Structure 1
Amino acid sequence: MDLLSAVVKFNNQTNGRDKLCRLFQYGTKCGWWSIEKLRDDPSLIKKLKDLEYHLGTFRKLLRFGKSLDILQGALKTLHLDDIALRATISLAKINQSLYLLLDHVIWLARVGLIDIDKKYWGKTSAKFWMTQIILNLTRNLYDICSAVSNELYKRNKSKRSRGDKNGDIEASINPAPKQTPLLLKVIGDNKPVFLDSAKNVADVWLPMSVLGHVNISPGTQGMLGVISSCIAILVTWNPTLKLVP
Protein backbone atom coordinates (compact mmCIF):
# COMPACT_ATOMS: atom_id res chain seq x y z
CA MET A 1 0.00 0.00 0.00
CA ASP A 2 1.42 3.38 -1.02
CA LEU A 3 1.46 6.39 1.29
CA LEU A 4 -1.53 8.12 -0.33
CA SER A 5 -3.70 5.01 -0.01
CA ALA A 6 -2.64 4.61 3.61
CA VAL A 7 -3.56 8.25 4.35
CA VAL A 8 -6.97 7.83 2.69
CA LYS A 9 -7.61 4.62 4.63
CA PHE A 10 -6.58 6.29 7.90
CA ASN A 11 -8.78 9.33 7.24
CA ASN A 12 -11.77 7.13 6.41
CA GLN A 13 -11.69 5.73 9.93
CA THR A 14 -13.74 7.63 12.51
CA ASN A 15 -11.16 6.61 15.08
CA GLY A 16 -8.38 8.05 12.92
CA ARG A 17 -10.15 11.40 12.54
CA ASP A 18 -10.83 11.50 16.27
CA LYS A 19 -7.15 10.97 17.07
CA LEU A 20 -6.10 13.70 14.62
CA CYS A 21 -8.61 16.13 16.12
CA ARG A 22 -7.34 15.21 19.57
CA LEU A 23 -3.78 15.98 18.49
CA PHE A 24 -4.85 19.39 17.18
CA GLN A 25 -6.98 20.03 20.28
CA TYR A 26 -4.12 19.49 22.72
CA GLY A 27 -1.64 21.13 20.38
CA THR A 28 -3.88 24.20 20.41
CA LYS A 29 -3.90 24.13 24.21
CA CYS A 30 -0.09 24.14 24.17
CA GLY A 31 -0.19 27.00 21.68
CA TRP A 32 -2.40 29.43 23.59
CA TRP A 33 -0.62 28.66 26.87
CA SER A 34 2.78 29.38 25.28
CA ILE A 35 1.53 32.63 23.75
CA GLU A 36 0.02 33.61 27.10
CA LYS A 37 3.44 33.18 28.72
CA LEU A 38 5.58 34.72 25.99
CA ARG A 39 3.58 37.72 24.81
CA ASP A 40 0.37 39.58 25.48
CA ASP A 41 -2.04 38.90 22.61
CA PRO A 42 -5.55 38.43 24.09
CA SER A 43 -7.20 38.27 20.67
CA LEU A 44 -5.05 35.38 19.41
CA ILE A 45 -5.29 33.56 22.74
CA LYS A 46 -9.10 33.78 22.64
CA LYS A 47 -9.17 32.46 19.06
CA LEU A 48 -7.00 29.48 20.02
CA LYS A 49 -9.10 28.76 23.13
CA ASP A 50 -12.25 28.87 21.01
CA LEU A 51 -10.63 26.53 18.48
CA GLU A 52 -9.69 24.11 21.27
CA TYR A 53 -13.28 24.20 22.55
CA HIS A 54 -14.79 23.57 19.10
CA LEU A 55 -12.35 20.73 18.38
CA GLY A 56 -13.38 19.14 21.68
CA THR A 57 -17.05 19.49 20.74
CA PHE A 58 -16.40 17.97 17.30
CA ARG A 59 -14.61 15.03 18.90
CA LYS A 60 -17.63 14.41 21.13
CA LEU A 61 -19.77 14.27 17.99
CA LEU A 62 -17.37 11.80 16.34
CA ARG A 63 -17.62 9.55 19.39
CA PHE A 64 -21.41 9.77 19.65
CA GLY A 65 -22.85 6.27 20.07
CA LYS A 66 -19.43 4.70 20.68
CA SER A 67 -20.36 3.94 24.30
CA LEU A 68 -22.56 1.07 23.05
CA ASP A 69 -19.71 -0.38 20.97
CA ILE A 70 -17.39 -0.29 23.99
CA LEU A 71 -20.02 -1.94 26.20
CA GLN A 72 -20.46 -4.71 23.64
CA GLY A 73 -16.68 -5.18 23.67
CA ALA A 74 -16.77 -5.49 27.47
CA LEU A 75 -19.25 -8.36 27.20
CA LYS A 76 -16.87 -10.22 24.88
CA THR A 77 -13.90 -9.87 27.25
CA LEU A 78 -15.88 -11.57 30.04
CA HIS A 79 -14.99 -14.87 28.37
CA LEU A 80 -11.20 -14.46 28.57
CA ASP A 81 -9.44 -17.35 30.31
CA ASP A 82 -6.91 -15.21 32.20
CA ILE A 83 -8.76 -13.86 35.25
CA ALA A 84 -6.46 -10.82 35.61
CA LEU A 85 -6.99 -9.78 32.00
CA ARG A 86 -10.69 -10.56 32.21
CA ALA A 87 -11.14 -8.34 35.28
CA THR A 88 -8.99 -5.38 34.22
CA ILE A 89 -10.09 -5.22 30.57
CA SER A 90 -13.80 -5.74 31.29
CA LEU A 91 -13.90 -3.17 34.09
CA ALA A 92 -11.85 -0.71 32.02
CA LYS A 93 -14.28 -1.02 29.10
CA ILE A 94 -17.31 -0.60 31.36
CA ASN A 95 -15.81 2.58 32.81
CA GLN A 96 -14.92 3.80 29.31
CA SER A 97 -18.48 3.15 28.18
CA LEU A 98 -19.88 5.16 31.11
CA TYR A 99 -17.35 7.94 30.46
CA LEU A 100 -18.42 8.15 26.82
CA LEU A 101 -22.11 7.98 27.75
CA LEU A 102 -21.71 11.06 29.95
CA ASP A 103 -19.63 12.61 27.17
CA HIS A 104 -22.66 12.24 24.88
CA VAL A 105 -24.80 14.08 27.44
CA ILE A 106 -22.23 16.89 27.65
CA TRP A 107 -22.23 17.20 23.85
CA LEU A 108 -26.03 17.54 23.86
CA ALA A 109 -25.65 20.34 26.41
CA ARG A 110 -22.92 22.07 24.37
CA VAL A 111 -25.11 22.26 21.29
CA GLY A 112 -28.02 23.57 23.36
CA LEU A 113 -30.36 20.57 23.21
CA ILE A 114 -30.46 20.08 26.99
CA ASP A 115 -29.69 22.21 30.04
CA ILE A 116 -27.39 20.62 32.64
CA ASP A 117 -24.62 21.56 35.05
CA LYS A 118 -21.78 20.92 32.59
CA LYS A 119 -19.08 21.33 35.23
CA TYR A 120 -20.62 18.63 37.45
CA TRP A 121 -21.18 16.25 34.55
CA GLY A 122 -17.67 16.94 33.25
CA LYS A 123 -16.12 15.98 36.60
CA THR A 124 -18.29 12.87 36.86
CA SER A 125 -17.20 11.87 33.36
CA ALA A 126 -13.55 12.47 34.33
CA LYS A 127 -13.93 10.04 37.27
CA PHE A 128 -14.88 7.22 34.92
CA TRP A 129 -12.09 8.25 32.52
CA MET A 130 -9.50 8.19 35.31
CA THR A 131 -10.73 4.81 36.58
CA GLN A 132 -10.52 3.40 33.06
CA ILE A 133 -6.92 4.55 32.64
CA ILE A 134 -5.88 3.22 36.07
CA LEU A 135 -7.35 -0.17 35.17
CA ASN A 136 -5.51 -0.05 31.83
CA LEU A 137 -2.25 0.72 33.65
CA THR A 138 -2.91 -2.22 35.99
CA ARG A 139 -3.32 -4.44 32.94
CA ASN A 140 -0.12 -2.97 31.44
CA LEU A 141 1.82 -3.75 34.62
CA TYR A 142 0.49 -7.31 34.60
CA ASP A 143 1.48 -7.75 30.94
CA ILE A 144 4.98 -6.35 31.56
CA CYS A 145 5.53 -8.60 34.60
CA SER A 146 4.34 -11.61 32.59
CA ALA A 147 6.64 -10.72 29.68
CA VAL A 148 9.67 -10.32 31.97
CA SER A 149 8.85 -13.57 33.76
CA ASN A 150 8.51 -15.47 30.47
CA GLU A 151 11.79 -14.07 29.14
CA LEU A 152 13.64 -14.98 32.35
CA TYR A 153 12.18 -18.48 32.17
CA LYS A 154 13.36 -18.87 28.55
CA ARG A 155 16.87 -17.67 29.41
CA ASN A 156 17.19 -19.94 32.43
CA LYS A 157 15.89 -22.88 30.44
CA SER A 158 18.40 -22.14 27.66
CA LYS A 159 21.27 -22.02 30.18
CA ARG A 160 20.25 -25.33 31.74
CA SER A 161 19.91 -26.88 28.30
CA ARG A 162 23.43 -25.81 27.29
CA GLY A 163 24.82 -27.03 30.60
CA ASP A 164 23.19 -30.46 30.25
CA LYS A 165 24.26 -30.79 26.61
CA ASN A 166 27.86 -29.59 26.77
CA GLY A 167 28.85 -30.24 30.35
CA ASP A 168 30.03 -27.65 32.86
CA ILE A 169 33.70 -27.69 31.73
CA GLU A 170 32.97 -27.15 28.04
CA ALA A 171 30.36 -24.52 28.88
CA SER A 172 32.96 -22.55 30.83
CA ILE A 173 35.44 -22.80 27.95
CA ASN A 174 32.86 -21.88 25.30
CA PRO A 175 30.50 -19.39 26.95
CA ALA A 176 27.08 -18.73 25.48
CA PRO A 177 26.77 -15.98 22.90
CA LYS A 178 26.03 -12.56 24.33
CA GLN A 179 22.33 -11.98 24.85
CA THR A 180 20.32 -8.82 24.28
CA PRO A 181 19.82 -6.94 27.58
CA LEU A 182 16.65 -8.16 29.27
CA LEU A 183 14.75 -4.87 29.17
CA LEU A 184 15.54 -4.20 25.50
CA LYS A 185 14.53 -7.76 24.59
CA VAL A 186 11.22 -7.51 26.45
CA ILE A 187 10.42 -4.11 24.90
CA GLY A 188 11.34 -5.33 21.41
CA ASP A 189 9.12 -8.39 21.73
CA ASN A 190 6.21 -6.53 23.33
CA LYS A 191 5.98 -3.16 21.55
CA PRO A 192 2.16 -2.93 21.84
CA VAL A 193 2.34 -3.31 25.64
CA PHE A 194 4.94 -0.58 26.09
CA LEU A 195 3.27 1.80 23.63
CA ASP A 196 -0.04 1.37 25.43
CA SER A 197 1.70 1.87 28.78
CA ALA A 198 3.33 5.11 27.60
CA LYS A 199 -0.02 6.38 26.29
CA ASN A 200 -1.78 5.60 29.56
CA VAL A 201 0.98 7.17 31.68
CA ALA A 202 0.63 10.38 29.65
CA ASP A 203 -3.17 10.30 29.73
CA VAL A 204 -3.76 9.58 33.42
CA TRP A 205 -2.74 13.09 34.45
CA LEU A 206 -5.48 14.69 32.35
CA PRO A 207 -8.57 13.49 34.28
CA MET A 208 -6.63 13.84 37.53
CA SER A 209 -6.10 17.50 36.66
CA VAL A 210 -9.80 17.98 35.87
CA LEU A 211 -10.70 16.48 39.26
CA GLY A 212 -8.14 18.63 41.08
CA HIS A 213 -6.00 15.70 42.26
CA VAL A 214 -2.91 17.24 40.64
CA ASN A 215 -2.09 20.81 39.70
CA ILE A 216 -0.47 20.98 36.27
CA SER A 217 -0.44 23.87 33.82
CA PRO A 218 -2.52 23.90 30.62
CA GLY A 219 0.78 23.72 28.72
CA THR A 220 1.73 20.49 30.48
CA GLN A 221 -1.74 19.09 29.88
CA GLY A 222 -1.41 19.98 26.22
CA MET A 223 2.00 18.33 25.91
CA LEU A 224 0.79 15.13 27.62
CA GLY A 225 -2.24 15.08 25.33
CA VAL A 226 -0.03 15.54 22.26
CA ILE A 227 2.23 12.65 23.34
CA SER A 228 -0.64 10.23 23.95
CA SER A 229 -2.37 11.35 20.74
CA CYS A 230 0.77 10.70 18.67
CA ILE A 231 0.98 7.18 20.12
CA ALA A 232 -2.72 6.60 19.41
CA ILE A 233 -2.29 7.81 15.81
CA LEU A 234 0.71 5.48 15.35
CA VAL A 235 -1.30 2.52 16.62
CA THR A 236 -4.30 3.40 14.42
CA TRP A 237 -1.97 3.76 11.41
CA ASN A 238 -0.25 0.44 12.14
CA PRO A 239 -2.76 -2.02 13.71
CA THR A 240 0.03 -4.53 14.46
CA LEU A 241 1.06 -2.19 17.28
CA LYS A 242 -2.37 -2.36 18.90
CA LEU A 243 -2.57 -4.16 22.23
CA VAL A 244 -4.98 -7.10 22.07
CA PRO A 245 -7.26 -8.31 23.46
Structure 2
Amino acid sequence: MSAIINVQPWLKFTATTVGRDKLYRAVQYFSRFLAWYLMRQGYSKETVVRFNNLKKSLALSRKLMRIGKPIEHVESAVLASNIKDEFLRFCSVGKQLSYAGYLTYDALIFLDGAGAYRFQNIKRYNELASKFWLSGILFSFVIGLYRTRQIQIRRETAMRGLRHQGENEKSTARTELQGLAREQHGVNKQLLQDGLDALIPSSSLNYVDLDDGVVGLIGTVTSIMGAQTQWAKVNKAKV
Protein backbone atom coordinates (compact mmCIF):
# COMPACT_ATOMS: atom_id res chain seq x y z
CA MET A 1 0.00 0.00 0.00
CA SER A 2 2.82 2.42 0.87
CA ALA A 3 4.46 1.78 -2.53
CA ILE A 4 1.20 2.69 -4.27
CA ILE A 5 0.89 5.85 -2.21
CA ASN A 6 4.48 6.88 -2.96
CA VAL A 7 3.98 6.57 -6.71
CA GLN A 8 0.85 8.75 -6.72
CA PRO A 9 2.74 12.09 -6.98
CA TRP A 10 4.62 10.76 -10.02
CA LEU A 11 1.40 9.55 -11.65
CA LYS A 12 -0.23 12.92 -11.04
CA PHE A 13 2.76 14.67 -12.58
CA THR A 14 3.02 12.49 -15.69
CA ALA A 15 -0.77 12.60 -16.18
CA THR A 16 -0.44 16.26 -17.15
CA THR A 17 0.64 17.38 -20.61
CA VAL A 18 2.93 19.98 -19.05
CA GLY A 19 4.59 17.37 -16.83
CA ARG A 20 5.34 15.03 -19.72
CA ASP A 21 6.49 17.93 -21.88
CA LYS A 22 9.02 19.03 -19.24
CA LEU A 23 10.43 15.51 -19.04
CA TYR A 24 10.70 15.19 -22.82
CA ARG A 25 12.23 18.66 -23.00
CA ALA A 26 14.88 17.81 -20.40
CA VAL A 27 15.94 14.68 -22.32
CA GLN A 28 15.80 16.56 -25.64
CA TYR A 29 18.13 19.34 -24.53
CA PHE A 30 20.44 17.01 -22.62
CA SER A 31 20.72 14.92 -25.79
CA ARG A 32 21.63 18.09 -27.64
CA PHE A 33 24.38 18.77 -25.10
CA LEU A 34 25.64 15.17 -25.25
CA ALA A 35 25.77 15.17 -29.06
CA TRP A 36 27.88 18.35 -28.92
CA TYR A 37 30.10 17.05 -26.12
CA LEU A 38 30.71 13.61 -27.65
CA MET A 39 31.55 15.16 -31.00
CA ARG A 40 34.09 17.43 -29.29
CA GLN A 41 35.56 14.42 -27.50
CA GLY A 42 36.09 12.57 -30.76
CA TYR A 43 33.46 9.86 -30.35
CA SER A 44 32.27 7.97 -33.42
CA LYS A 45 29.88 9.61 -35.83
CA GLU A 46 27.33 6.87 -35.15
CA THR A 47 27.26 7.68 -31.43
CA VAL A 48 26.75 11.38 -32.09
CA VAL A 49 24.03 10.66 -34.64
CA ARG A 50 22.12 8.57 -32.08
CA PHE A 51 21.78 11.50 -29.70
CA ASN A 52 21.02 13.91 -32.53
CA ASN A 53 18.23 11.61 -33.69
CA LEU A 54 16.88 11.34 -30.14
CA LYS A 55 16.89 15.12 -29.88
CA LYS A 56 15.01 15.50 -33.17
CA SER A 57 12.48 12.77 -32.34
CA LEU A 58 11.66 14.28 -28.96
CA ALA A 59 11.39 17.78 -30.45
CA LEU A 60 8.89 16.48 -33.00
CA SER A 61 6.96 14.55 -30.33
CA ARG A 62 6.67 17.68 -28.19
CA LYS A 63 5.33 19.65 -31.14
CA LEU A 64 2.65 17.01 -31.69
CA MET A 65 1.77 17.02 -28.00
CA ARG A 66 1.28 20.80 -28.04
CA ILE A 67 -1.13 20.91 -30.98
CA GLY A 68 -4.25 22.66 -29.71
CA LYS A 69 -2.35 24.62 -27.04
CA PRO A 70 -2.73 27.94 -28.92
CA ILE A 71 -6.45 27.85 -28.10
CA GLU A 72 -5.64 27.60 -24.38
CA HIS A 73 -3.35 30.62 -24.61
CA VAL A 74 -5.97 32.64 -26.49
CA GLU A 75 -8.46 31.78 -23.74
CA SER A 76 -5.89 32.84 -21.13
CA ALA A 77 -5.40 36.11 -23.02
CA VAL A 78 -9.16 36.75 -22.85
CA LEU A 79 -9.13 36.11 -19.10
CA ALA A 80 -6.05 38.32 -18.68
CA SER A 81 -7.91 41.19 -20.37
CA ASN A 82 -9.98 41.46 -17.16
CA ILE A 83 -6.95 42.28 -14.99
CA LYS A 84 -7.48 45.68 -13.39
CA ASP A 85 -3.83 46.75 -13.37
CA GLU A 86 -3.35 48.29 -16.82
CA PHE A 87 0.36 47.51 -17.18
CA LEU A 88 -0.02 43.95 -15.88
CA ARG A 89 -3.01 43.44 -18.17
CA PHE A 90 -1.03 44.58 -21.23
CA CYS A 91 1.93 42.33 -20.43
CA SER A 92 -0.22 39.32 -19.55
CA VAL A 93 -2.27 39.57 -22.74
CA GLY A 94 0.92 40.08 -24.76
CA LYS A 95 2.52 37.04 -23.14
CA GLN A 96 -0.42 34.74 -23.87
CA LEU A 97 -0.87 35.93 -27.46
CA SER A 98 2.86 35.56 -28.07
CA TYR A 99 2.78 31.95 -26.90
CA ALA A 100 -0.33 31.35 -29.02
CA GLY A 101 1.54 32.62 -32.07
CA TYR A 102 4.61 30.56 -31.21
CA LEU A 103 2.66 27.33 -30.83
CA THR A 104 0.63 27.99 -33.99
CA TYR A 105 3.80 28.14 -36.07
CA ASP A 106 5.16 25.22 -34.05
CA ALA A 107 2.23 23.09 -35.26
CA LEU A 108 3.02 24.01 -38.88
CA ILE A 109 6.66 23.08 -38.30
CA PHE A 110 5.48 19.71 -36.98
CA LEU A 111 3.47 19.06 -40.15
CA ASP A 112 6.55 19.81 -42.22
CA GLY A 113 8.89 17.77 -40.02
CA ALA A 114 6.53 14.79 -40.00
CA GLY A 115 6.29 14.94 -43.79
CA ALA A 116 2.52 15.48 -43.75
CA TYR A 117 2.89 18.70 -45.75
CA ARG A 118 5.96 20.47 -47.06
CA PHE A 119 6.03 24.24 -46.69
CA GLN A 120 8.24 26.16 -49.08
CA ASN A 121 8.95 28.88 -46.52
CA ILE A 122 9.52 26.62 -43.49
CA LYS A 123 12.64 28.58 -42.54
CA ARG A 124 10.51 31.69 -42.21
CA TYR A 125 8.05 29.78 -40.01
CA ASN A 126 10.91 28.68 -37.76
CA GLU A 127 12.09 32.27 -37.49
CA LEU A 128 8.61 33.56 -36.65
CA ALA A 129 8.12 30.80 -34.09
CA SER A 130 11.36 31.80 -32.36
CA LYS A 131 10.37 35.48 -32.39
CA PHE A 132 6.97 34.76 -30.85
CA TRP A 133 8.60 32.48 -28.28
CA LEU A 134 11.15 35.15 -27.34
CA SER A 135 8.39 37.76 -27.14
CA GLY A 136 6.39 35.59 -24.72
CA ILE A 137 9.44 35.02 -22.52
CA LEU A 138 10.26 38.74 -22.43
CA PHE A 139 6.69 39.63 -21.48
CA SER A 140 6.93 37.05 -18.68
CA PHE A 141 10.25 38.53 -17.53
CA VAL A 142 8.81 42.06 -17.41
CA ILE A 143 5.84 40.75 -15.40
CA GLY A 144 8.32 39.27 -12.93
CA LEU A 145 10.13 42.60 -12.56
CA TYR A 146 6.82 44.42 -12.09
CA ARG A 147 5.68 41.97 -9.42
CA THR A 148 9.03 42.34 -7.67
CA ARG A 149 8.41 46.07 -7.41
CA GLN A 150 4.89 45.48 -6.10
CA ILE A 151 6.23 43.08 -3.48
CA GLN A 152 8.82 45.65 -2.41
CA ILE A 153 6.08 48.23 -1.88
CA ARG A 154 4.01 45.78 0.16
CA ARG A 155 7.11 44.81 2.17
CA GLU A 156 7.77 48.46 3.05
CA THR A 157 4.20 48.76 4.28
CA ALA A 158 4.55 45.59 6.36
CA MET A 159 7.84 46.80 7.83
CA ARG A 160 6.10 49.91 9.09
CA GLY A 161 3.66 47.61 10.88
CA LEU A 162 6.53 46.18 12.92
CA ARG A 163 7.08 49.61 14.43
CA HIS A 164 3.61 49.63 16.00
CA GLN A 165 3.32 49.17 19.75
CA GLY A 166 0.47 46.67 19.54
CA GLU A 167 1.46 42.99 19.46
CA ASN A 168 -1.41 42.13 17.09
CA GLU A 169 -0.13 44.59 14.49
CA LYS A 170 3.39 43.20 14.80
CA SER A 171 2.16 39.61 14.44
CA THR A 172 0.15 40.53 11.34
CA ALA A 173 3.17 42.29 9.86
CA ARG A 174 5.43 39.27 10.49
CA THR A 175 2.92 36.96 8.81
CA GLU A 176 2.70 39.32 5.86
CA LEU A 177 6.48 39.50 5.52
CA GLN A 178 6.78 35.71 5.56
CA GLY A 179 4.17 35.44 2.81
CA LEU A 180 5.93 38.10 0.75
CA ALA A 181 9.25 36.27 1.11
CA ARG A 182 7.68 33.08 -0.27
CA GLU A 183 6.04 35.02 -3.09
CA GLN A 184 9.31 36.74 -4.01
CA HIS A 185 11.11 33.38 -4.03
CA GLY A 186 8.68 32.13 -6.68
CA VAL A 187 9.06 35.31 -8.71
CA ASN A 188 12.87 35.14 -8.50
CA LYS A 189 12.84 31.55 -9.74
CA GLN A 190 10.64 32.48 -12.69
CA LEU A 191 12.85 35.45 -13.52
CA LEU A 192 15.92 33.20 -13.58
CA GLN A 193 14.12 30.63 -15.72
CA ASP A 194 12.89 33.29 -18.16
CA GLY A 195 16.32 34.90 -18.35
CA LEU A 196 17.94 31.59 -19.25
CA ASP A 197 15.17 30.47 -21.59
CA ALA A 198 15.36 33.75 -23.52
CA LEU A 199 18.85 32.75 -24.67
CA ILE A 200 17.52 29.72 -26.59
CA PRO A 201 15.34 31.54 -29.17
CA SER A 202 17.87 34.39 -29.16
CA SER A 203 20.49 31.87 -30.25
CA SER A 204 18.19 30.48 -32.96
CA LEU A 205 17.68 34.02 -34.26
CA ASN A 206 21.46 34.72 -34.10
CA TYR A 207 20.94 37.53 -31.59
CA VAL A 208 23.53 35.83 -29.37
CA ASP A 209 26.33 33.46 -30.33
CA LEU A 210 25.96 30.23 -28.32
CA ASP A 211 27.06 26.75 -29.30
CA ASP A 212 24.88 23.64 -28.99
CA GLY A 213 26.57 22.64 -25.74
CA VAL A 214 25.56 25.83 -23.93
CA VAL A 215 22.04 25.82 -25.40
CA GLY A 216 21.66 22.16 -24.42
CA LEU A 217 22.68 22.82 -20.82
CA ILE A 218 20.43 25.87 -20.56
CA GLY A 219 17.47 23.91 -21.88
CA THR A 220 18.16 21.04 -19.48
CA VAL A 221 18.35 23.34 -16.45
CA THR A 222 15.19 25.30 -17.30
CA SER A 223 13.34 22.05 -18.05
CA ILE A 224 14.19 20.76 -14.57
CA MET A 225 13.08 24.08 -13.06
CA GLY A 226 9.81 23.93 -14.97
CA ALA A 227 9.31 20.30 -13.93
CA GLN A 228 9.80 21.26 -10.27
CA THR A 229 7.17 23.99 -10.59
CA GLN A 230 4.69 21.63 -12.27
CA TRP A 231 5.37 18.92 -9.68
CA ALA A 232 4.64 21.38 -6.88
CA LYS A 233 1.47 22.53 -8.65
CA VAL A 234 -0.08 19.10 -9.15
CA ASN A 235 1.04 17.77 -5.76
CA LYS A 236 0.40 20.97 -3.80
CA ALA A 237 3.98 21.07 -2.55
CA LYS A 238 6.25 24.02 -1.79
CA VAL A 239 9.27 24.80 -3.98
What is the letter of the counterpart of residue 18 of structure 2? N
Q: 1:200 aligns with which of 194, 200, 209?
A: 194
Instruction: Note if 1:236 corresponds to 2:230.
Output: yes
- Residues 191 and 241 in structure 1, CA contact (< 8 A), matched pair in contact too: no
What's the offset of the Cα at 1:241? 7.4
Aligned to 1:7: 10
Aligned to 2:150: 146
Runs of 5+ in structure 1 lacking a partner?
Answer: 166-175
What's the offset of the Cα at 1:184? 9.8
What's the offset of the Cα at 1:120? 1.7
Report SS of the residue matched to 2:162. Answer: helix
Pairing of 1:2-81 with structure 2 (within 5 A): 2-81=5-84
Q: Which runs of 4+ in 1 moved over 2 A?
A: 156-159, 183-192
Q: 1:191 aligns with which of 179, 185, 192?
A: 185
Report SS of the residue matched to 1:46. Answer: helix
1:13-46 Cα distance to aligned partner (Å, 9 max, x none): 1111111100100010111111112223211111
Instruction: Quote the sequence identity (%).
Output: 22
What's the offset of the Cα at 1:48? 0.6
Aligned to 1:119: 123
Q: Distance in 1 between matches of 2:216 and 2:226?
A: 15
**Normalising by the residue count of structure 2, what TM-score does the alignment of the two structures yield?**
0.87
Q: Distance in 2 between matches of 1:3 and 1:236?
A: 17
1:108-138 Cα distance to aligned partner (Å, 9 max, x none): 1111121113222111110000111111000
Runs of 5+ in structure 2 lacking a partner?
Answer: none
RMSD over aligned Cα atoms: 2.4
Max radius of gyration: which structure?
1
What's the offset of the Cα at 1:195? 2.0
CA 198–221 in structure 1, closer or farther in 2 if over 3 Å, else same: same
**Normalising by the residue count of structure 1, what TM-score does the alignment of the two structures yield?**
0.85
